[in-house]
Amino acid sequence: MPSVKKSFYTTVDHDFEVEHVEEVACNLCHATAYDVLAQELGFDIRECSNCGLVYVSPQPAANEIKRFYEGMYTSQTAADAATRSIGAVERHLKRVVLARKPEGGRLLEIGCGYGNFLRQFVSPRWTLTGVETATNALAHVRRTVPGVTLVEGTVEESDFPPASQDCIVMIAVLEHMKDPKGVLARVTRWLAPGGLLLVQTPYIANFIRAKRWFPKLPIHFEAPRHLFDFSPSTLPRYFAEAGLRDVRTEIARPYSSTGPLGSLLIWGVKAPGLLLYALTGGRYVYPYSSAIVVHGVRERA
């Protein structure tokens, strides 16, 4: 298996070998038949022949995946975080939450990072909780988001009482999970009936396909930190299986990028998609949109 060096995929300062890998079936439909879309860092990026889910297999075992994140969070200081403004992503997701939950309530963000999303909801109307593994990020959130309750750990390590949340948000989190189906079932239990689940996740499989013809496209799947690439057909199916209804799919706004040229390129690629999306009243999701937002509510008992 791959010998990993300091690179885009890892910020470790020493090389390491991946020793334990495991073959996995499709997490959504459990089928084992697949096509290989591409390879990255020696890992297959597969597409389920049955349901179309795109996933990495074999994957590093759970204890080895951690090594791909070494140094990632400590290299970002709180000072870096403080200079980041609230971007288009956070503003868009705030609009979605306010449209579907205008009354406010208990808001939980899984993987809250430096708190840029939660910070927008500081108000008597909202009770805020953040779950995050990066200790230095948590310290920053504690200083800058008044009244927030913070839990250090992963979604699997955290636990909340059933029906204890009115809105749960996961931004750039689900694609890192080994068992997204288990995670969605788990967090849906934490939602009160009528509660809102909102997930933002990359949707780049079509760019990865395009690399066959344009190998120099600067697009990375980010295997094996990213283990999945969800789509407007697979992620709503996950939501339905978790017991979520009134599920809607939107094109995500671009993440802010380093430098104006990068931002311009990203907006340039996404602009036709956002335009088509708006012109078709949200019915058409561009296959080169690079990220999607899916939201739905837990069934009322």
Least Å from the CB of residue 199 to Zn ion: 18
Give the total of residues touching Zn ion (CB under 5 A): 8
CB of 30 to Zn ion, least distance (A): 7
The footprint of Zn ion on residues 30-59 (CB under 5 A) is: 31, 48, 50-51, 53
One DSSP character per residue, 257-299 reads: -SSHHHHHHHHHHHHHHHHHHHHTTT----TT-EEEEEEEEEP
Q: Report the amino acid identity of residue 179.
A: D
**CB 180 to Zn ion: min, Å:** 12
If the CB atoms of residues 52 and 105 are measured against Zn ion, the closer one turns out to be: 52
Query: 29 or 247: whose CB is closer to Zn ion?
Result: 29
The enclosing H or E element of 249 equals strand 244-251
Q: How far apart are the C-alpha atoms of 263 and 260, rounded to whole Å?
A: 5
Q: Which stretch binds Zn ion (CB under 5 A): 24-32, 121-129, 166-174, 225-233?
A: 24-32
110 near Zn ion, rule: CB under 5 A = no
Between β-strands 126-132 and 149-152, what pairing exists: parallel, antiparallel or unpaired? Answer: parallel
Q: Is 13 helix (H, G, I), strand (E, B) or coil?
A: coil
Stretches 2-10, 29-37, 99-107, 170-178: which one binds Zn ion (CB under 5 A)? 29-37
Minimum separation from the CB atom of position 56 to Zn ion (A): 14
Q: Among candidates 135, 141, 139, 136, which has minimal Cα distance to 120?
A: 141
Using DSSP's 3-state secondary structure scheme, residue 102 falls into coil
8: which residues sit within 8 A by CB, 6+ positions away? Answer: 220, 222
Q: Write down the least CB distance from residue 51 to Zn ion, Å.
A: 3
Closer to Zn ion at the Cβ: 47 or 109?
A: 47
Report how far Cα 100 is from the mean position of its chain's Cα atoms: 20
Closer to Zn ion by Cβ: residue 55 or 207 = 55
Q: What is the rounded distance in angstroms from the CA atom of residue 26 to the CA atom of residue 123?
A: 41
Kindly state the smallest distance separating residue 125's Cβ from Zn ion, in Å: 40
Which parts of 61-100 interact with Zn ion (CB under 5 A)?
Answer: none
Query: Cβ of residue 33: shortest distance to Zn ion, in angstroms?
Result: 9
Which residues lie closer than 8 Å to 50 by C-beta, 6 or more apart?
A: 26, 29, 31, 33
Is the CB of 53 or the CB of 285 nearer to Zn ion? 53
Task: Considering the complex, state which of residue 33 and residue 271 has its C-beta at the smaller distance from Zn ion.
Answer: 33
The residue among 9 and 55 lying less far from Zn ion, judged by its C-beta, is 55
Interface with Zn ion includes 26 (CB under 5 A)? yes
Determine the Cα angle at 292 with ends 98 and 197, to 5°.
45
Contacts with Zn ion by CB under 5 A lie at 26, 28-29, 31, 48, 50-51, 53
